[in-house]
Amino acid sequence: MSILKIAVQKNGRLSEKSLQLLNECGIKLSNGERRLKAASPNFPVEILFLRDDDIPQYVEEGVADAGILGENEVWEKSKNITVIKQLGFASCKLSLAIPKEALYTGLEYFNNKKVATSYPRILNNFFTENKLNVAIETISGSVEIAPAIGLADAIFDIVSTGSTLQINGLKEVEVVTKSQAVLISNQNLDAEKQQILDKLLFRIQSVKNAAENKYILLNAPNESIAKISAILPGMKSPTVLPLAEPGWSSIHSVIREDTFWDIIDQLKGLGAEGILVTNVEKMIL
C-alpha cells in the first residue's frame, strides 16, 4: 500500500499549526519526539520534519510527496512544485523596514541603497518590477540588526507583530506581499498517492469549513420564521422545530463567522430569543 510522505517544518509556530491541522483531520502520529519522521497508524501518511527552506526542493525531487510551509518559501525557492491549497494559518507580511529616524519618501527612498534580506529572489523581483537600482545583501538570521551594524540601509523580512522591528530601532514602511501556510505537492504523483492526497484535501476542507462557520440555535415567534430562514439559509435550509409554547419554534442553522455579529443583531430585531452559538467541529458539504 502506498504511503504519502508529507514534509513539515521541524519546529516553530508553523510546525505546531501544521500538526494541529493533521490532528483535526483525524490523523494520529506515532512519533511524539519528532526526531526525523512520524508514521500514522490510522491514515496512509508519513510526516518528515525538515527545515522549511528545504521543503520545496525535497518535494520537487520526490523525497517528499507533499509539504506544508509558508508561501514565502515557495516563492523564494521557485521550484517545480504544485501549490494545492492555501491553509489559512501562519499569516504574515513580508515588508521593507528602515531606521525609525529616517524620513521615508516612498519607494524611491531605496534607490541606490543596500537592503539586507533572507528572501533575495522575492525582493529582487519587487525592485525590478518597480525599476529601482538596489543592492541586495543576502543574509540568514538576525536580519533586523543589519542597519545597526552598517551592513545595510534597510531590511526586507517577515513581519508579524512588528515588535522585533521596534526593538531594533526600525519601522515598517512598505508591505511587499502577504503570505500564509500552503499545501504543496510533487507534480508527478502516481495514482495511489494522488488518491491519498485527495482524501487528505477532503478532510482539510471539512476542517476549514468548520472553522469558518458557527452552529446557531434560537427560539423565535412563528410569524418570523420566513424572514429568519432568509437570513439563515444554512447549508440548504434551517431546521425548524415547534416548541411546547404555542406560536413559537426552535430554529437551527449554520452561520458564517465573518457575518456573525451583523446577523445576530438582525435576528434580535425579528424577535429571536435564547440564541445559542457553538463551534462546529467538522463540516462536510
Q: Check whether 35 has a pLDDT greater than 80.
A: no
Block residue for cell numbers 437551527: 252
Q: Which one has a higher pLDDT value, 163 or 172?
A: 172
pLDDT at 79: 96
pLDDT at residue 40 above 70? yes
Residues 72 and 253: their CA atoms lie apart, in Å, by 38
Query: What does the pLDDT read at residue 55?
Result: 97
- Fold classification of 4-89+180-210 (topology level): D-Maltodextrin-Binding Protein; domain 2 (3.40.190)
| pLDDT averaged over every residue in the chain | 93
**Cβ-Cβ contacts under 8 Å for 275 (sequence gap 6 or more):** 216, 217, 218, 264, 267, 268
Q: Which amino acid is at 208?
A: K
The secondary structure of residue 103, as a DSSP letter, is P
What 8-state DSSP symbol labels residue 274?
E
Output the nine-digit C-alpha cell for 270. 425579528
Averaged over 196-223, what is the pLDDT?
93
Q: Where in the chain is the domain with CATH 3.30.70.120?
A: 213-279
Rounded CA-CA distance 152/141 in Å is: 14
User: Which three-class secondary structure state does DSSP give residue 225?
Assistant: helix
Query: What value does the mean pLDDT take over residues 239-264?
Result: 91
Q: What is the mean pLDDT of residues 248-275?
A: 90
Yes or no: domain 92-179 corresponds to CATH 3.40.190.10:
yes
For 201, what's the count of Cα atoms within 13 Å in the CB-facing half-sphere? Answer: 16
Decide: 189 and 198 in contact? Cβ < 8 Å. Answer: no
Instruction: Please check the confidence at residue 153 and state whether its pLDDT lies above 90.
Output: yes
Q: What pLDDT was estimated at residue 200? A: 97
* Average pLDDT estimate for 53-65: 97
Residue pair 136/115 in contact by the 8 Å Cβ criterion: yes
For the segment(s) 213-279, the CATH number from 3.40.710.10, 3.30.1360.10, 3.20.20.80, 3.30.70.120 is 3.30.70.120
3-class state of residue 207 by DSSP: helix
The per-residue pLDDT for 263 is: 87
Q: Would you say residue 253 has pLDDT above 80?
A: yes
What predicted TM-score, i.e. pTM, was given to this entire model? 0.85
pLDDT, average across residues 164-174: 94
Alpha-carbon distance of 219 to 160, in angstroms, equals: 42
What does the pLDDT read at residue 34?
56
Whether the CB-CB separation of 172 and 92 falls below 8 Å is answered with no
Distance, CA of 239 to CA of 79 (rounded, Å): 49
Q: Please write down the HEC assignment for all residues of 138-206.
A: ECCCCHHHCCCCCCCCEEEEEECCCHHHHHCCEEEEEEEEEECEEEEECCCCCHHHHHHHHHHHHHHHH
Within the chain, all domains assigned CATH 3.40.190.10 are found at 4-89+180-210, 92-179
Query: What is the predicted pLDDT for the residue at 282?
Result: 82
- Bridge partners (DSSP) of residue 70 are 181
Tens-place pLDDT, residues 94-149: 999 999 999 999 999 999 999 999 999 999 999 999 999 999 999 988 899 999 99
